[in-house]
Structure 1
Amino acid sequence: MDSEISNNPAFQEVLNTLEIDRKKIASTYSVCYTVFGIAALVIVGGLIVGAATVAIILSLIPIIVGIVMLFQIDGDAQKYKIAYKNNVVATALKKINESLTFVPQSGLSEGEFISSDLFTTEPDRYKTQDLITGIVDKTSFSFAEVHAEYKTETQTKNGTRTEWHTIFKGIIFVADFNKNFSVSTVIRPKSFGNTVGAWFSKNIFSFGNTEIVQLENTDFDNQFVTYSRNQIEARYILTPAMMERILNLNSKSDETISISFISSKMYIAFPLSNNYFEAPIHTSLLVPDLLTDDLSIVQFMHDIVHELDLNTRIWGKE
């Protein structure tokens, strides 16, 4: 955590107050786990000695106690998590950029997720949270965590089995590109292959005149495949400098990114397995590395504007 933040008395007071709440919640959860463990041992013991019915009846007491405790503490846990995001994370973000705003309950709308032209499959289940917006010089941007899934249903002799499959889980970054593109240009990983549910615009399959754009950067073409219905505009966007910047950005990401340019926006999909900005329950808030991972990912997203030189206005919006 930034020393300027951690040494701030008001911020430290917030952490101290939340730490008291955290300990209470963690203690209650621990008691509940213990109670449920006792119930399980009673049932197992009853099965061993041949008194399963008696064991199940006896186990109902700790089970009911545990459920009641969980129900009672759930409201406190939710308040604690919200307070952590609003009072700890949101405050810390201001040290990166004063313009950053954090809206935990909001995210990237499902409509924009679909219209970003990055994904083959429309989601049957869609979750998004932790929207962060800001401005770097002339460029406005936003990003949010997204988890989109589609379902398949298989008929079995016991009925219908539903399975959920991930379309995308990670962060979607959106930035103003200062030009209204006439068509969409999509850049996807070369390793995309035929993977179901990977990131690639369905529009690419919908229009017969969509073509692979051959670019003059061998490293870029080895890493990505670029599609567009306007070869000239695609090359106008993907200048030699822009391709080098995208390659550099991709090298800093754990997994290969995917990008689209549509309307007047740039969308970048970063697949990630971690959930960020979540309040710890079973570990202390009063540790120096409390916000290290969270601030690192925000700084990374924030720096994309400079990384891709989005403040250089080579176009005006039409």
Structure 2
Amino acid sequence: LLTREAERQVAVAKARQARYVGIAVAVLGALAGVLLVRHPFAAIIAVVVGVGYLYWGGRDVRRLGKEAKDLIVLPVVRKLGLQFLAEPGSVDSIYKHHDVGIVPSWDRANYEDRLTGRRKGVDFELFEAHLEERSTSTDSKGNTQTRWRTVFKGQCLRFEFSKRFYGRTLITRDSGFFNRFGGGKGMSRAMLEDPVFEKIFEVYTTDQVESRYLLTPDLMQNLVDLEKAFHGGRLKACFDGGEMFITLEGGNLFEPGSMFKPLDSVDRVRELLTDFAAIFRIMDAVIIGRAREGQERD
């Protein structure tokens, strides 16, 4: 990072100069075109030239911003013994998120920033998904138009435990009136220990006993903290089979941040570690809850 810091400073200085010059050319040129030359086309040319110069001046900053993800994220990931792919291609586990009902159906998908690893015997996976649904319409002349609508854009998490869960438990944000539709066939509403989280989440399960061990106040607080750490919302989670699935809409992780502050800024690494800590705390809470359940059921 230190070796690239000088390059960042040069790129930032160039971008700032281009910003001032580009804006000045666009504004003054537009005014001159309208007031002096009295030709709107001259004003348009001035604006295009100014914006073009501004864009040209920022190209080094944009390039460095793309490279910074590898410069900042990869060393931290490797230190923690994890694996990271900025462009993973297809991610098959998205179909499992769909099967348990926490992402909708889609026609087109794009995936980014896939993180995988193992902690305390639990394999985990995190990736960003952008899912779109296609719709077509035909006008009176027979022309067909295709539109794409985003149905989900956010983070997907999956934890794979060595022991299967006894039932299925679904967690969603409280949806008011729509709570009456329940969590699915064979599921009934589960009560949470803490009334604070009772107001925040709706929980449905096929195993009331297991849900009490899983949904401890610590875990529920960790889910709230995960939303904050990931800058996301509309959290959904599901325990099914031997896996736990979580989705959060919004948020964009593993981005290097502004190139207008030093590459070796502590804040960049601190935010990454906060994200990882939020993931690990959820895993730990589930592991503890399952251990307690196993001891008492046995």
1:19 aligns with 5
Normalising by the residue count of structure 1, what TM-score does the alignment of the two structures yield? 0.68
CA contact under 8 A between 1:172 and 1:268: conserved in structure 2? yes
Secondary structure at 1:23 match in 2: helix
Distance 2:99 2:270 in 1: 33
Higher relative contact order (CA 8 A, sep 6+): 1
Q: Are residues 1:54 and 2:30 paired?
A: no
Distance 1:66 1:235, change over 3 A: same
**1:104–1:240 Cα change, 3 Å:** same
- Which position in structure 2 is the counterpart of 1:186? 170
Partner of 1:39: 26
Matched, 1:302 2:280: yes
Correspondence list, 1:151-170, <5 A:
164-165=149-150, 167-169=152-154
Q: Structure 1 pair 69/250, CA: closer, same or farther in 2 (3 Å)?
A: closer
Question: 1:291, CA displacement in angstroms?
Answer: 1.6
Q: Indicate conservation of the 8 Å contact 2:190/2:204, yes or no.
A: no
Give CA deviations for 1:76-125 in whole Å, capped at 9, x if unaligned: 844x3454333322212445x3x222222238554344335213x32455
1-side partners of 2:153 and 2:279: how far apart? 18
Instruction: Indicate whether 1:211 and 2:211 are aligned.
Output: no
Q: Which residue of 2 aligns with 1:88?
A: 72
The answer to whether the Cα contact below 8 Å between 2:192 and 2:215 also exists between their aligned partners in 1 is no
Q: Which residue number corresponds to residue 237 of structure 1?
A: 210
Question: 1:182-208: CA deviations, max 9, x gaps?
Answer: 87532212236449xxxx99x93xxxx
The aligned residue for residue 119 of structure 2 is 136
Distance 1:66 1:246, change over 3 A: closer
1:301 Cα shift? 1.0
Runs of 5+ unmatched residues, structure 1: 1-14
Distance 2:124 2:100 in 1: 15
Q: Please give the alpha-carbon distance, in whole angstroms, between the structure 1 residues aligned to 2:176 and 2:108.
A: 23
Pair 1:265–1:124, CA change in 2 (3 A): same
Aligned equivalents of 2:139, 2:251: Cα separation in 1: 32
Q: Deviations over 1:269-300 (max 9, x none)?
A: 24453543325322221333232112111121
Q: SS at the partner of 1:141?
A: strand
Do the aligned partners of 2:165 and 2:240 also contact (CA within 8 Å) in 1? Answer: yes
Is 1:123–1:150's contact at 8 Å kept on the other side of the alignment? yes
Alpha carbons 1:214, 1:221 under 8 Å: kept? no
**Count of residues in correspondence between the two structures:** 279
Q: TM-score, normalized by length of structure 2?
A: 0.72
Q: CA deviation at 1:261?
A: 1.9
1:231-290 CA deviation, whole Å, 9 max, x = no partner? 3xx335313354334323234343563211234210122445354332532222133323
- 1:162 positional shift: 5.6
Is 1:104 the equivalent of 2:90? no
Report the 3-state secondary structure (helix = DSSP H, G, I; strand = E; otherwise coil) of the residue aligned with 1:226.
strand
Q: Matches of 1:84 and 1:163 in 2, distance apart? A: 31
The sequence identity of aligned pairs, in percent, is 16
Residue type of the alignment partner of 1:248: Q
Q: Return the match for 1:267 from 245, 252, 257.
A: 245
Mapped to 2, the partners of 1:35 and 1:162 lie a distance apart of 39
Q: Does the 8 Å contact 1:101/1:132 carry over to 2?
A: yes
- Please list the CA deviations of residues 28-50 of structure 1 after superposition, one character each: whole Å capped at 9, or x if unmatched: 43344345421243124322442
* Partner Cα separation in structure 1 for residue 236 and residue 274 of structure 2: 21
Structure 2 alignment gaps of length 5 or more: none
Structure 2 residue 249 is matched with structure 1 residue 249? no
Equivalent position SS for 2:254: coil
